Amino acid sequence: MQNDILSILNESEALNAKVFSLVRLKLLASLAALGPDGATYRELRAALGINDGVLFANLNVLKEMGYLTSGKITSEGKELELYTITTEGQDEWKRTRTWLCRFLHCGA
């Protein structure tokens, strides 16, 4: 077998284990696609169907890890919170996605 499971599992040591929660993976995947444009809190809540408490807590964890930044923006006269992925966040998401693909044998 070309990719033996033990070496794939060992490669996971290079990853940040704190990223491996469903909510955090959803957030990183969503924001990675939008790049510097980012998404507002209300867009993330509606599209991902995550309740306020869980969403807020996980966004903050990702911010503390340096993977996201947030700031106030104005849209149609309303002040909203915008979340954007950082370069570190993009790199971590790429590593995680590549590893997950290998883990699931989808040939990344």
Cα 71 vs. chain centroid, distance in angstroms? 17
* Residue 76 is a binding residue for other proteins (CB under 8 A): yes
Residue 75 within binding range of other proteins, rule CB under 8 A: yes
- Count, residues near other proteins per rule CB under 8 A: 20
Question: Hey, how many other C-beta atoms are within 10 angstroms of the C-beta on 104?
Answer: 10
Nearer to other proteins, 44 or 68 (CB): 44
Residue type for position 98: T
Q: Is 30 in the site for other proteins (CB under 8 A)?
A: yes
Distance, in Å, from the CA atom of 41 to the CA atom of 47, rounded to the nearest integer, reads: 10
E strands, 8-108, where?
Answer: 39-40, 68-75, 78-85
Binding mask 45-64 for other proteins (x = CB under 8 A): -xxx----------------
Interface residues toward other proteins, by CB under 8 A: 30-31, 33-37, 39, 42-44, 46-48, 73-76, 80, 82
